């Protein structure tokens, strides 16, 4: 054997380099990280605000689903126009609750975007947009169409008026597909109407 062959005992470990830090090394990365955190907070706050603002919409959809389950009941059909009117009254809008305080000044009452399910409570509640409650006929149809992102039937307000005021025999004579279409149109409007807030 060759005596000059090194043995394994003579090998030494090489020194490892210092570990690389995952923290940003320049101030630009810190600024970018800060902007990212602020953006996430803003998006989260907006989502929470939208979720709270749409509480009335979720309540209305739950009530509409309850009414649709008992669509053969005349009371369920008669409640559809009232439900849409309550949803319209519950739409949050910054201009509806404005009250004059002094010359040229406006004080806004807090907007309550919750669906008023009790009609008696609606009359005692804080100021609501009374103009919407009085809408009927073409004005009601125009309001529904103006706030809808999807097209509505041209006689939708007339169908709602028929549900509210027609004799029981007329409502019993409505075919099941027409009832289903009414519920679908109401659901479409509640889900997709515009909120000006």
Q: Where are the alpha helices (DSSP H) in the chain?
A: 27-53, 55-69, 74-90, 119-124, 130-133, 137-146, 156-165, 168-172, 176-192
Length of the chain: 197
Beta strands 98-102 and 105-108: pairing type? Answer: antiparallel
pTM: 0.59
Per-residue pLDDT at 38:
98
Say how far residue 189 (Cα) sits from the centre of its chain.
12
Beta bridge partners of 100: 106
In this predicted structure, what is the pLDDT of residue 196? 62
∠ CA 182-122-66, rounded to 5° = 35
- What pLDDT is recorded for position 119? 41
Q: What angle do CA 49, 119, 73 make, to 5 degrees?
A: 100
Which residues, 6 or more positions from 150, have their beta carbon under 8 angstroms from its beta carbon? Answer: 188, 189, 192
pLDDT (0 to 100) of residue 104: 36
Q: Look at residues 92, 89, 88 and name the one whose alpha carbon lies nearest to residue 148.
A: 88
Q: What is the pLDDT of residue 130?
A: 54
Instruction: Return the pLDDT at 84.
Output: 85
Collapse the DSSP code of 105 into the 3-class scheme (helix H, G, I; strand E, B; otherwise coil) and give the result.
strand
> What pLDDT, on a 0 to 100 scale, did the predictor assign at position 107?
35
pLDDT value for 45: 97
Which residue stretches of the chain have pLDDT < 50? Answer: 95-129, 197
Most distant pair of Cα atoms in the chain: their distance: 116
In whole angstroms, what is the distance from residue 158 CA to residue 176 CA?
18
- Tens digits of per-residue pLDDT, 71-84? 777 888 888 888 88
> What's residue 43's pLDDT?
97
CA pair distance 59, 103, nearest whole angstrom: 39
Residue 191 contacts residue 61 (beta carbons within 8 Å): yes
């Amino acid at each position: 054997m060759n005596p000059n062959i090194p043995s394994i005992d003579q090998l030494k470990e090489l020194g490892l380099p210092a570990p690389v830090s995952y923290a940003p090394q320049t101030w630009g990365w810190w600024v970018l990280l800060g902007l990212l955190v602020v953006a996430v907070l803003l998006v989260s706050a907006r989502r929470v605000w939208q979720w709270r603002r749409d509480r009335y919409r979720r309540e209305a959809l739950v009530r509409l689903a309850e009414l649709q389950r008992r669509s053969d009941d005349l009371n369920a059909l008669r409640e559809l126009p009232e439900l849409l009117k309550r949803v319209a009254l519950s739409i949050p809008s910054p201009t509806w609750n404005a009250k004059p305080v002094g010359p040229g000044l406006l004080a806004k009452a807090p907007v309550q975007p919750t669906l008023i399910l009790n009609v008696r409570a609606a009359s005692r509640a804080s100021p609501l947009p009374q103009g919407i409650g009085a809408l009927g006929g073409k004005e009601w149809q125009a309001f529904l169409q103006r706030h809808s992102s999807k097209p509505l039937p041209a006689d939708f307000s007339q169908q709602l008026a028929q549900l509210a005021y027609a004799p029981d025999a007329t409502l019993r004579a409505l075919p099941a597909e027409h009832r289903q279409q009414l519920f679908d149109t109401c659901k479409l409007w509640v889900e997709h109407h515009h909120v000006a807030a």
